[in-house]
Amino acid sequence: GVSQPLIKPKVRHVETEQDQLQGDSPASDDESYVSDVSDNISEDNASVTDNVSRQMPNGDLAGSAFRNGRRPCLPAPSPDCSNINLWNILRNNIGKDLSKVSMPVELNEPLNTLQHMCEELEYTELLDRAAETEDPYERMAIMAAFVISGYSSTYYRAGSKPFNPLLGETYECIREDKGMCFIAEQVSHHPPISACHADSNKFTFLQDVRWKNKFWGKSMEILPIGTVNVILPSFGDHYEWNKVTTCVHNILSGRRWIEHYGEITIRNTKSSACICKLTFVKGNYWSSNVNEVQGFVMDQEGKVVRRLFGKWHEGLYCGVPPSARCIWRPGSMPTDYELYYGFTRFAIELNELCPEMQDLLPPTDARFRPDQRHLEEGNVEMAASEKQRIEDMQRTRRKWQDENDIKHEPRFFK
């Protein structure tokens, strides 16, 4: 029974023992692991750094669809999960790691953690700009804007969590409009570790992330462990930085909202010309400094050469008010985004499966996940039964591997 396929794409062009999503990959014992550090939000004013389609009035979706030929809307709205009693599920797990607690599929959104990593590349135009900026201090300020932009999509996403990838699951995203190719793989199941790599003519982006999460009764904290890297070949730069803590408030009642807090240090490992420090301010729901970010770029002598401030869901400014200039602002949200998991336009496009792609993607790709696909199409009952089947199969596979002392080898990463 172990070899029964988990996921059944129409065409399978990678025929090896690594047909993970087909059955050779331990399905997650839980889909619970909350990597809510997703990425998406925006104001109705178009991003300064955005491309033309975003600058159409009223966030016109036709512009986006016209630009890249991708879908402008999800197939079905998000399900109503008001009848789920989270307290019954979570009360025995206060203070514990929730990556081993199975959650109802209604609490998921139809994307998984590997796709969330790709979401951090929504604003790659900032990296393109950095790759053409001679001044190292200005380049570092643009890098800071890129780091902050990776959090912007989370603003409307506190209501749901991404699917946990199966061991060996992959996600590939080729974006001609961004000049970028992205690949990610789930390289470890316990602890859950995801790795990704993206290439373009102007930059290379790579990271591996492991998450810890804790449930504190009213809130849940997600603590990412790992380093994010961006290489800009035009200047021989290699930037690296850490991630901040994410907290989802009002888990059990009231309106859920997301907060990011902590400090990020961006270093260029190939040059000591400057360093950037960013602080995501810990506030509260009612304070005026909610979502606030403050930072500075400092030269070798410790002198502040750029002051940065803003809000991670609204934009980043450089300088001192009122004469500060905007470096980045998120694009406008799609129409009725509240009904569709709070997804940005970029998020809407990530799980789309065009007929011509089915022949080219490996069977391990996240787009072939049946539970995730059923949820996206609004079939909650089928999504729940497929999720259960995949979790059971992953447990069986894991037990079999443990008993036979078989160690999983990642396919695309070392």
Indicate the residue type of 63: G
Phi, psi (rounded to 5 degrees) for 310: 155, -160
**How high is the pLDDT of residue 111?**
98
**How high is the pLDDT of residue 216?**
84
Burial class (CB in 10 A: 0-12, 13-18, 19+), 62: exposed
Mean pLDDT (10-residue bins), the chain, 414 residues: 37 37 38 31 34 37 53 94 74 68 88 97 98 98 98 95 95 96 96 96 97 86 95 98 95 88 98 98 79 97 97 97 96 96 97 92 96 97 96 93 95 94
pLDDT digits over 221-278, tens only? Answer: 999 999 999 999 999 999 999 999 999 998 888 888 999 999 999 999 999 999 999 9
CA–CA dist 365, 362 (Å, integer): 6
pTM strictly above 0.75:
yes
pLDDT digits over 14-32, tens only? Answer: 333 334 344 333 333 443 3
| CATH classification code of 33-388 | 2.40.160.120
CA–CA dist 353, 213 (Å, integer): 31
Q: Is 384 helix (H, G, I), strand (E, B) or coil?
A: helix
Q: Where are the domains of the chain?
A: 33-388
